[in-house]
Structure formats: structure tokens, C-alpha cells
A and B are shown apart, each in its own frame.
Chain A
Amino acid sequence: MIAPRPPRPPAGDARARECVRILNVKTSQRRVVVTGLGAVTSIGTNLSDFWKNLIAGMCGIRPLSLFDASGYRTRTAAEVTDIPDGFLTAAEKRRMSRADRMGLAAASEAIRGSGLDLSREDPRRVGVILGGGTSGLLDSEEFYGRYLRGQNARPSRILNHLPDAITDRLAQRFQLEGIKSTITTACSSSANALGFAFDAIRAGFAEVVLTGGSDVLARLTYGGFNSLRSVDPDPCRPFDRERRGLSIGEAAGILVFEEAEHARRRGAPVLAEFRGYGVTSDAFHMTAPDPSGAAGGRTIRAALGSARLNASDVDYVNAHGTATSQNDSAETAAVKSGLGERAREIPVSSIKSMIGHCLCASGAIEAVATVLTIRDGIVPPTIHYENPDPACDLDVVPNVAREVAVDVAISNSFAFGGNSSVIVLARFDGAP
């Protein structure tokens, strides 16, 4: 599974190609395509199971078992029950966090699907840019609990604490020597990571970037959203009038981003093109979205501008759709602001109704789903939807998946701090 380390190219030629002027991005004609996908989620721990169950409307939100949930206000989560990490030795597993193992499984699947033979790639031209989540926090919490109780706490438990640990871990596993970076913007982390990967390839920093994120359940985030009373004790109901908050989930979603010409030369399967993205700050409040939707609408317009597309081109919106009272109405306003009159005709669905809010991995796993929507012409549903809300009067594809030809889709991510990000994915037209 792991390619042997390739011989180093001669220093002279690598140096010249490694360092492209970064300031000429605007003139860059390079395009970025998606050639591989990997998914580990509560409704399927590989890409085909995830997709099959997603369009079947399966709910992955169940009683939480990863840690003792008895003291929390809610007891459910979209938990991954069987990480496909059989390719790791017992010693490797001990050294790695749960997020590492999920991320490596998804990355292996994505690379396999892309057909990339890493032994034939220049490792200096392959990077890793991820959204950073809880990383090894689950282990750190156990360390900290023991420390607080005055018990012996093994420091090896905290070695994976920092959110960038998994980025280094992926690069180590696949012996990559290119750009590495980790975006930590809470719930928009991995959407921004995709954007950074896009900019980095266009600017010539890399030909291939593994991007996305892996974020796992932890007491801090589970307790945190509970303390804010933002969690629904039952499975979440995005855009429903009776919605009572989010369901917390965990997932890994990894995408192989590749410069289009590089993909063409090796005859790679192109699943979609990453056309552009927008990232803005609403500068409004740390936790509450701007209710007018103005900032979200601005982000959608910025993303379409980056993609050189118009609002009228958009066929599908993969919503942030957390099922909090504030998010869903603000997002409805944002979609209307960004897409105008047509907004109510466009299918808009929240897969968080099935896999929960996977926090720092949500932008990545939702991008994976959006690519598959473009590939197969099927829009996943928003499940648990019963009661229309006048404040959320979009076509939310209630409960049943729908066949729709989708050439252009956007996926929204909004985060604490007023961070908002929108990515644009499109069918690749194949033109050089």
C-alpha cells in the first residue's frame, strides 16, 4: 500500500521547479482537478458505502460509545464504529491518534482511487494541506484527567495533541516532501484547506496536494456544544421548523487535488474541477452568524467570482445546514443573497442530517459528497425533515435523494469567529 521512497531527482532541476514566484498567481492558467476521494464516516467507512448510504438517506446518529456520555445533556453522536485501519501494525496504531488512523484510511483510499503511483512522482511536488481538528485531543483529555487526579499520566499520550499532527503524519506515511500546512478555523477548517490547496497548486507550489480533514469526537467539543445548548438530544433536523440544534459527528474526508495537465498526462480519472473559493469574515460575533445573511451572500459571490462563474450557473448547494435555529435561517438568507431570485429553485441539502456535524472535517466530507453529486447526478437528501419553516424556504430535498444533472455546485461552511467559506466544484470540461 505504501509506495517505496523514490530516488531523489538531481538537485539542480528540483531547485528550479520547486520555487515558483508566488506573486504571479493571478496570471496563472493552471487548473485544479479532483482525481481521488476517500471517506470514513458513521454511515460508511469507505467511499462507496458512504455514498450508497448517503443517497439512501441513512442516519448515522446513534448513542455515543467512544467515551462515557452519561454526564452530558445529550447522548448521541454520529460515531465511526469500525475504522478500516487494518493496514497499520499494532505498534503504529499505538503511536497514532484516532484522527490519524481515520485520516490515513481515507487518504489511502483517495490515493488508490486516483491511480497515483507515488513512486513515480517527485515527492517534493506532492503536499498535504488539511483542516486541523481535535487531532489527539481524546488522548490528551485522558492524560489531563489523570494529571488532575494526581495519577501517573504517560506523556506519550499527548504527543499528537496539536492539530497539525495529522498533516505531518500523512506526509510521513506517504513519504511526501512538498508543502504542508494545517488550517485551524474551527468548522470551516477543511473548506479553507481545500482553498489553500487550490491556491498552492495554482501558484506552482505543488502538482498534487492531499487535502481535506479528519476530525474525531472529543469531550471538549461534545461538552462545549452541549454547554452552549446547541445540541439536539435527538438526531438533528436541518431546516425543519422544529429543529433544536446540531448532532456532533466525526469523519475523515480526503481529496486528491491535482494540476489538470499533470492529471491529463498520466491519464488520471478526473472526478470534478475545483473551480474556486471564497473566504470572508462577517466580523459580527464569535458564535452567532449575521442573521441578515449578508456576509454569507458576500462569500458566495466571492467564491463564484473566484471560479469565474455566475449565480445562474449554480445547480446545487451543499448546505452548512447545522440545524441550529440561527444557522439555518441565516444560511437561507445567505443563499438568497448570494444566488438571487433563483435561490428557491436550486436544490439545497444538508448531509449533516445523516452524518452529523463533523466540525473541522465537515467541509472536506461535504466536498467529497458534492464531487460525487456532480459525478453521478444525484443530490443527497436532507433527512428528518417534517415541518416547513418559513424562515428556511429553500428546496431542501426533503428525505429522499433526487436525480439532478449538476454541472456546478457550491458547498458552504461557516464557523465560530464569523469565518465563512464557500467552495465551487464543477464538472470538468476536459479542455486543456
Chain B
Amino acid sequence: MLPRVLITGTGAVCPLGRSPQEFYRRLRAGETAIRPMTDAERGTLQATHVARCDGFSPQPEIPAMKARRFDRGSQFAIVACAQALAEARYDVAADPEAIGIAMGTGSAGAGAVTEFLRVLLQESPEAAPPFHFPNTVANAPASQVSIELKLHGPNVTITQKDPSALNALLFASLSIGSGRARAMIAGAVDEWNAIYAMGFDRVGALRGERRASGIVQGEGAFALLLEEEGSALARGARPLARLAGIAVVGVPTDPYRFAPDAGAIERVVRGALADAGTETGGVTLWFPSRDGVVEMDRAERAAMEAVFGAPPPALSVKDAIGEMAAAGGGQLVAACRALAAAEEWPASAPRRALVNSFGAGGNFLAAVIESVP
């Protein structure tokens, strides 16, 4: 009997809602949180739009006095992870060493990095505020989550372009599969930062007035609670879905260039399906990687047609919350909610959802999530 991985809880703090339920309901209703930038956000950028967690408050999960100690990304992450544990009714204290966390991020630490360096470069190295330095590390959010939620198991953060969240899912699955943990939070977090936005705009990554192809940036945090099936069922957990398959493919290219390689996408999708023990059957919902980078979106469409003929219906998360390294976390959370609410899908109740997540530098991941009878 192979150890299998169930998803028993979800969390979401994102531009489209501050809970996984609200996020999924509004996504399903076709809403989008992408909005024009304010003048302050936009500055001199050619980019015009953004999706942010406007009005986010870390309360009630984090008391106000305490919240001030955390950067914005850590606040998002703590709230999303606390939601996932609460939904799963998971008792961390029963065995804190059995549960760990893997988080994907592209920008965690950006606020602290840019502020620390601003003072260092503009004033002097000795004036740079020590308070910010510990938060410059990308693993600050995952570590703050471990400290706040008292998780004593594995604790890692992964950065691998847009598919960072699926990389974290892969690491978390391996941690459970190898017996390093019985439960893992697979999460993702990103914070919007004006200096990083300026950088992305200048290197031509953002869609805007002068560029039709490119991404709209988002921010937020997502979490899935993964549990080894045997121990989850033994504690009476009610699973939302099962992680059925995952695959990863690389294409050699410069780190900042796209490799719009339909063949690679076809391989990674077929790989995830084969890992799930299925060919194309039963995939009734597709969470595309599509994010507005025209040549990548075109390659994804071509690859999906090559695999499926007529691809399954798509639910585009990035049209609703923008693109970021954490966006795959949003796709995964939405996939779990859709599978758990199959009765909402009269035509073809989703049994399996395919989550695609591709990024610059030739990074391609795909995962298959399936419903649990």
C-alpha cells in the first residue's frame, strides 16, 4: 500500500478574498480583482494594472501588537496557513514534529530588502536598520508561520519563477512520501513591492500602455494542508481532494527568457496525467498557466489541444488575481474547492483538475488533483 497524499485544508489571502471560500466563490462568479494602479503605485511605470489585497487586516488571526513585528508577506502567510489548519481541524500540538511547511515565493523579503538597501545606499551602511535584516530572507514568511503555529517539522522555502508554488507542493509531497513528515503545509506567498514592480516593468515583464504581452502582478498567500492518507483517515479527517500526480520539465534558456515550447508543455501535462495513473480521462477542469505572456499562452493552448483534442473547461485564476510566484497556490486552492463542491458543476462534475504552472527560464510544472469519493 503506497502512502498517498490527501488535501484536508485550504487557506487563501488574496485580492479576491480573505478566505478560500470567498476566493473560490468570487472566482466561480467570474469576478476579477485586477484594477487600475493608483498614482502612487504606478509612479513612472508603463504598467497600468495590479491586483492587491486591498484593505487586508491581519486580525483576528494575529493580534495587532504582534502583527507589527511581521512584514506584509509574513502576515499573509500566517493567516492563510492558520486557515488551512483550522479547516482541517488539525491539532498541531498533538505532535508538532510531524508537521512542516514548504512555501514557494518570488518576492518574499522584497519590502525589507529594498528598505534596508535604500538606507544603506543613500545614507550609510551603519545607518541601515538592523530590524529589517532578518526579514530580507525569502524564508521569513515560512519561518514566521513555523514560529507562530509551532510547526517543528521540515521548513523550506523555494523560489523557481512562476511555478514556485508547485515546486513547494512537490517538495512537500516528497517530505510525506519519504516519511520526514506526516503532514505538510504546501504554501505560497508574494508581496507587491513598488521597487520590484519598477524592476519588472523596466525589464519588459509587465503588461501596460506600451506592452500588450506581459503579466499583471498580484500578491497574497495560499496554503494547502497535505496529509499522509493513513494518518489523516485515522484521525477522522474529511479530505477535500487528493494529490494524484505531479511532473516537472525544464527547457534550457536564459533565466529571464520565456521558452514557449509546446512540446515541453505537452510532456509535462502528459507526465502529470501519467503520474496520476490516467491518460486524459476524467480531467474535467483545467487551471491554465495563462497569464498574458502571449507566446507562452499560445504554446499552452497548442499543447492542451495536442493532449486533449478539445481541452476541458478552463478556470483562469490569474485573470482574477494576477500573476506571481504564488499564483500556483491560488490555482491549487481553487482546484480543491471545485473538487470538494462537485455538485456545483452540473454538466460534468469535476473528478480531476489539471493545474498548469509555467514560468520564465524554462520552468514547467503540472499537477493533477482528484476528488475523494
Please report A residues at the B interface, Cβ cutoff 8 Å: 11, 14-16, 18-27, 71-73, 95, 124, 127-128, 132, 140-141, 143-145, 147-148, 155-156, 158-169, 171-186, 192, 196, 199-200, 202-203, 205, 219-220, 222-229, 278-287, 295, 298, 302, 306, 415-419
With A158-B203, A161-B199 already in contact, the answer to whether A26 and B178 are too (CB < 8 A) is yes
Q: Judge whether A132 and B142 touch: CB under 8 Å.
A: no
1/0 contact string of B235-274 vs chain A (CB within 8 Å): 0000000010111111111111000000010010011101
Q: Judge whether B361 and A168 touch: CB under 8 Å.
A: yes
Using CB atoms, name the residue of chain A closest to B109: A184
With A141-B117, A220-B113 already in contact, the answer to whether A415 and B139 are too (CB < 8 A) is yes
Q: Is there a chain A Cβ closer than 8 Å to B301's Cβ?
A: no
Q: Judge whether B248 and A168 touch: CB under 8 Å.
A: no
State the Cβ distance, B175 to closest chain A Cβ, in Å: 8
Q: How many of B's residues come within 8 Å of A, CB to CB?
A: 90
Q: Which residues of B contact A203 (CB under 8 A)?
A: 174, 177-178
Q: Judge whether A283 and B120 touch: CB under 8 Å.
A: no
With A25-B174, A283-B150, A286-B143 already in contact, the answer to whether A171 and B362 are too (CB < 8 A) is yes
Using CB atoms, name the residue of chain A closest to B273: A19
State the Cβ distance, B357 to closest chain A Cβ, in Å: 13
Q: Judge whether B118 and A171 touch: CB under 8 Å.
A: no
Q: Judge whether A284 and B136 touch: CB under 8 Å.
A: no
| Residue from B157, B249, B254 in contact with A95 in the complex, judged by beta carbons closer than 8 Å | B254
How far is B153's CA from A174's CA once the two chains are assembled, in angstroms?
35
Q: Judge whether A182 and B139 touch: CB under 8 Å.
A: no
Q: Judge whether A280 and B152 touch: CB under 8 Å.
A: yes
How far is B147's CA from A141's CA once the two chains are assembled, in angstroms?
31
Q: Judge whether A417 and B250 touch: CB under 8 Å.
A: no
Q: Which residues of B contact A18 (CB under 8 A)?
A: 247, 249, 267, 271
Q: Judge whether A19 and B256 touch: CB under 8 Å.
A: no
Known: A148-B122, A172-B254, A176-B250. 16 other contacts (CB 8 A): A18-B249, A19-B275, A23-B173, A95-B254, A144-B117, A148-B118, A159-B203, A165-B255, A185-B155, A185-B156, A219-B117, A228-B133, A228-B134, A281-B143, A415-B139, A418-B155
With A24-B2, A168-B253 already in contact, the answer to whether A73 and B126 are too (CB < 8 A) is yes
Q: Judge whether A180 and B130 touch: CB under 8 Å.
A: no
Q: Judge whether A280 and B155 touch: CB under 8 Å.
A: yes
Please report B residues at the A interface, Cβ cutoff 8 Å: 2-5, 96-97, 100-101, 105-106, 113-114, 116-118, 120-122, 124-126, 128-130, 133-140, 142-144, 146-147, 150-161, 167, 170-171, 173-180, 195, 198-199, 202-204, 243, 245-256, 264, 267, 270-272, 274-275, 277, 361-363
With A192-B156, A298-B97 already in contact, the answer to whether A219 and B120 are too (CB < 8 A) is yes
Q: Judge whether A155 and B199 touch: CB under 8 Å.
A: yes
State the Cβ distance, A235 to closest chain B Cβ, in Å: 20
With A26-B177, A168-B255, A176-B252 already in contact, the answer to whether A298 and B157 are too (CB < 8 A) is no
Q: Which residues of A contact B362 (CB under 8 A)?
A: 168, 171-172, 180
How far is B252's CA from A11's CA once the two chains are assembled, in angstroms?
18
B137, B272, B361: residue with the most chain A Cβ atoms closer than 10 Å: B137
Q: Judge whether A286 and B100 touch: CB under 8 Å.
A: no
Number of A-B contacts (CB under 8 A): 290
State the Cβ distance, B306 to closest chain A Cβ, in Å: 11
State the Cβ distance, B324 to closest chain A Cβ, in Å: 12
Q: Which residues of A contact B250 (CB under 8 A)?
A: 127-128, 171, 176-180
State the Cβ distance, B363 to closest chain A Cβ, in Å: 6
State the Cβ distance, B72 to closest chain A Cβ, in Å: 16
Q: Which residues of A contact B248 (CB under 8 A)?
A: 178-181, 205
How far is B203's CA from A180's CA once the two chains are assembled, in angstroms?
23
State the Cβ distance, A190 to closest chain B Cβ, in Å: 12
State the Cβ distance, B1 to closest chain A Cβ, in Å: 10
State the Cβ distance, A286 to closest chain B Cβ, in Å: 4
State the Cβ distance, B37 to closest chain A Cβ, in Å: 19
Show 7 residue pairs from A and B whose CB-CB distance is below 8 angstroms, ordered by the A residue.
Answer: A22-B177, A159-B255, A160-B256, A196-B174, A281-B153, A284-B147, A417-B137
Q: Judge whether A227 and B156 touch: CB under 8 Å.
A: no
State the Cβ distance, A6 to closest chain B Cβ, in Å: 12
Q: Which residues of A contact B161 (CB under 8 A)?
A: 162, 164, 168
How far is B361's CA from A278's CA once the two chains are assembled, in angstroms?
30
How far is B90's CA from A292's CA once the two chains are assembled, in angstroms?
28
Q: Judge whether B117 and A286 touch: CB under 8 Å.
A: no
Q: Which residues of B contact A174 (CB under 8 A)?
A: 252
How far is B89's CA from A408's CA once the two chains are assembled, in angstroms?
41
State the Cβ distance, A21 to closest chain B Cβ, in Å: 6
How far is B176's CA from A90's CA once the two chains are assembled, in angstroms?
46
How far is B162's CA from A162's CA once the two chains are assembled, in angstroms?
12
Q: Judge whether A184 and B137 touch: CB under 8 Å.
A: yes
How far is B116's CA from A225's CA once the two chains are assembled, in angstroms?
12
Q: Judge whether B155 and A22 touch: CB under 8 Å.
A: no
How far is B147's CA from A416's CA once the two chains are assembled, in angstroms?
12
Using CB atoms, name the residue of chain B closest to A154: B202
How far is B122's CA from A141's CA once the two chains are assembled, in angstroms?
11
How far is B178's CA from A82's CA once the two chains are assembled, in angstroms?
41
Using CB atoms, name the residue of chain B closest to A173: B252
| Residue from B167, B203, B271 in contact with A181 in the complex, judged by beta carbons closer than 8 Å | B167
How far is B199's CA from A156's CA once the two chains are assembled, in angstroms?
10
How far is B364's CA from A127's CA once the two chains are assembled, in angstroms?
13
With A159-B255, A227-B128, A280-B153 already in contact, the answer to whether A417 and B106 are too (CB < 8 A) is no
Q: Which residues of A contact B272 (CB under 8 A)?
A: 19
With A168-B253, A283-B151 already in contact, the answer to whether A302 and B180 are too (CB < 8 A) is yes
Q: Judge whether B147 and A283 touch: CB under 8 Å.
A: yes
How far is B275's CA from A24's CA once the two chains are assembled, in angstroms?
11
Q: Judge whether A181 and B160 touch: CB under 8 Å.
A: yes
Q: Judge whether B178 and A27 touch: CB under 8 Å.
A: no
State the Cβ distance, B278 to closest chain A Cβ, in Å: 12
Using CB atoms, name the residue of chain B closest to A70: B125
| Residue from B3, B140, B195 in contact with A417 in the complex, judged by beta carbons closer than 8 Å | B140
How far is B130's CA from A287's CA once the two chains are assembled, in angstroms?
11
| Residue from A145, A147, A172 in contact with B252 in the complex, judged by beta carbons closer than 8 Å | A172
Q: Which residues of A contact B122 (CB under 8 A)?
A: 148
How far is B200's CA from A305's CA once the two chains are assembled, in angstroms?
44
How far is B128's CA from A71's CA once the two chains are assembled, in angstroms?
11
State the Cβ distance, B7 to closest chain A Cβ, in Å: 13
Q: Judge whether B174 and A199 touch: CB under 8 Å.
A: yes
State the Cβ distance, A222 to closest chain B Cβ, in Å: 8
Using CB atoms, name the residue of chain A closest to B141: A417
Using CB atoms, name the residue of chain B closest to A95: B254
How far is B171's CA from A199's CA once the two chains are assembled, in angstroms?
9
With A21-B275, A160-B255 already in contact, the answer to whether A419 and B143 are too (CB < 8 A) is yes
Q: Which residues of A contact B121 (CB under 8 A)?
A: 141, 144-145, 148, 219
Q: Judge whether B252 and A184 touch: CB under 8 Å.
A: no
Using CB atoms, name the residue of chain A closest to B173: A22
Q: Judge whether B137 and A416 touch: CB under 8 Å.
A: yes
State the Cβ distance, A279 to closest chain B Cβ, in Å: 4
Q: Which residues of A contact B267 (CB under 8 A)?
A: 11, 14-15, 18
State the Cβ distance, A260 to closest chain B Cβ, in Å: 17
Q: Judge whether B160 and A295 touch: CB under 8 Å.
A: no
| Residue from B129, B135, B146 in contact with A283 in the complex, judged by beta carbons closer than 8 Å | B146
Q: Judge whether B5 and A23 touch: CB under 8 Å.
A: yes
Q: Judge whether B249 and A124 touch: CB under 8 Å.
A: yes
Q: Judge whether A279 and B180 touch: CB under 8 Å.
A: yes
